[in-house]
Structure 1
Amino acid sequence: MTSAHVPTAEDFAQLRRTRAENPEAIAQAFAGRRRRKVVEGDGRLFIVAADHPARGAIAVGSNPTAMANRYELLERMALAISRPGVDGVLGTPDIIDDLAALGLLDDKIVVGSMNRGGLRGASFELDDRYTAYNVDSMVRDGLDFAKTLIRVDLDDAGTAPTLEATARAVDAAAAAKLPIMLEPFMSSRVGGRVVNDLSAEAVILSTAIASGLGNSSAYTWMKLPVVPDMERVMEATTMPTLLLGGDNGGDPDDIFSSWQNALALPGVRGLTVGRTLLYPADGDVAAAVDTAARLVHPGLGS
């Protein structure tokens, strides 16, 4: 890349040429990537996420197509992961391949998103098929972490195959010694839309269900929302936990304050946040990312 932070028009032109004329260069980029330990330094992780578009979720706040422009998304991702204190990135293969080809993944934890088949608004949304990464492909590319989404609707039969597929994913990850983060919710359809229950009781229940998936929990992490009574939620698991950020519909100061309080709880290891930081209300990606990074890694200073 010609810029340490944001790809240029020539970078993108080269990316298009690579995809059309030299696709094997992407595998070469993964093979040559400098890797780091998953847990090092202060033991906390700050991961920037961008796996939403593959599920048909390109809205941010009131903008229904905020994430539609792939070049803008990559620019925002590049800027975000260049900031001090950002440990890694989470995405589907299309995003991760772009970032690898652009040379942006050295010394970063790379998290592969696995189940994106439960498209937003679909009748089959809760039958959330594993249509992106699998464990074999993550091992092939030298990725560092796996991620799954588990929405449990007791009234939707699509939940059962999602639970079974997730259990098999946990099996495979444990066999490969690949950390895997599970993002569970108790969900239901309200007015035709799938809505996640963000009460402490529901998050505790979803955590209990997710924790038992697979034939080994040795490599399982949790990815949980910040909710009221977060202390009770964290008492429900011994597994290392990353906090998720959700959409950016709230007041930024309130959001950052809630993260700060939750990050102080035993078992919480950091943040995995996407749209809230990539598309902040004031448009200042660097400032939003820097604020979150200081919450995760207080040693960065102010």
Structure 2
Amino acid sequence: MALDFERLRETRAANPAAIGRALAERRRRDVIAGDGRLFIVAADHPARGAIAVGDNPTAMANRYELLERMALALSRPGVDGVLGTPDIIDDLAALGLLDDKIVVGSMNRGGLRGASFEMDDRYTAYDIAAMKRQGLDFAKTLIRVDLDDAGTLPTLEATARAVDAAAAAELPIMLEPFMSSRVNGKVVNDLTAEAVILSTAIASGLGNSSAYTWMKLPVVDGMERVMEATTMPTLLLGGDNGGDPDETFASWERALALPGVRGLTVGRTLLYPHDGDVAAAVDIAARLVHTDLAA
């Protein structure tokens, strides 16, 4: 997809205020519209230092290629919006790609991949006030709970205050919780149903109001039990693309049929598919979410 990167670079250098105007003037839509389901493409991984996809350790390192893949995904029917950190969202806004899209701001990126302080996941990207000021539509946080790491506590507290601020601003906020631990020095998320249920219970109680809280949960075996653990609207996350694509799509389809599931928030699996065909991968996922789309 042809994008004007020269103009983007010139805007960033000579006219940075234009980025704010592009965000303020974009055409907006209701978060819940049409069939009431959402398909969000995610690209907030690089800000955490997570640029690997599958066996490629630097797949997401080239920002221009990432933006081209994002632009292609956003152009496909049934894609409702994008999740990103300010650098990604500002690039997309300056390129004029956010009209009629839901824009989700990623908040806590301080827990860098592989760092000794990874569980102390400070809020180093968007805050609620900035998202309201810039006209974003949704907030997103990650909550990894490691009972053996004291860095979990400030993350929980900061997330509770983010939920408070989101509720006060009437801004939807999605919480992505995991029970996590270090295995051979690497943080690993527990993807059993029991662990996801426990993490959901912990995240659900954060803040002084849950009125604007959504969940962002992994698809695991026993997903029926997971969805019985919350009344909150839930988006499914896609994770990495290490598995068989057909099995992945089939698992999403089954989970999307469960009560409370409102759609998908997926990044690397669709932006960097095994066969390289971004449009085809995005189209398959879009039809799983929005079943009225033509094949």
Q: TM-score range by the shorter chain?
A: over 0.9
The reply to whether residue 130 of structure 1 matches residue 123 of structure 2 is yes
Q: Which runs of 4+ in 1 moved over 3 A?
A: none
- The residue number in structure 1 matching 2:272 is 279
* 3-state SS, counterpart of residue 118 of structure 1: coil
Report the CA distance between 1:301 and its aligned residue.
2.4
Superposed, which structure 2 residues align to 1:119-268 within 5 Å? Answer: 119-268=112-261
CA displacement 1:120-167 (0-9 Å, x = unmatched): 000000000000000011001100000000000000000000000000
* 3-state SS, counterpart of residue 84 of structure 1: coil
The reply to whether residue 60 of structure 1 matches residue 29 of structure 2 is no
Task: Quote the Cα distance in structure 1 between the aligned partners of 2:254 and 2:21.
Answer: 42
Task: Quote the Cα distance in structure 2 between the aligned partners of 1:280 and 1:158.
Answer: 34
* 3-state SS, counterpart of residue 292 of structure 2: helix
Instruction: Give 1:116's aligned amino acid.
Output: R
Instruction: Give 2:291's aligned amino acid.
Output: P
Query: Aligned Cα RMSD in Å?
Result: 0.4
The reply to whether residue 114 of structure 1 matches residue 107 of structure 2 is yes
CA displacement 1:224-272 (0-9 Å, x = unmatched): 0000000000000000000000000000000000000000000000000
Q: TM-score, normalised by structure 1?
A: 0.97
Would you say how many aligned residue pairs link Structure 1 and Structure 2? Answer: 295
Maintained 8 Å contact 1:7/1:78: no
Aligned-residue identity in percent: 86
- The residue number in structure 2 matching 1:32 is 25
Aligned mate of 1:22, from 4, 15, 21 = 15
Q: Which runs of 5+ in 1 are unaligned?
A: 1-5
Report the CA distance between 1:31 and its aligned residue.
1.4
Task: Quote the Cα distance in structure 2 between the aligned partners of 1:136 and 1:97.
Answer: 16
Aligned mate of 2:69, from 60, 64, 76 = 76
Instruction: Give 1:31's aligned amino acid.
Output: A
Maintained 8 Å contact 1:116/1:131: yes
- The residue number in structure 2 matching 1:3 is none
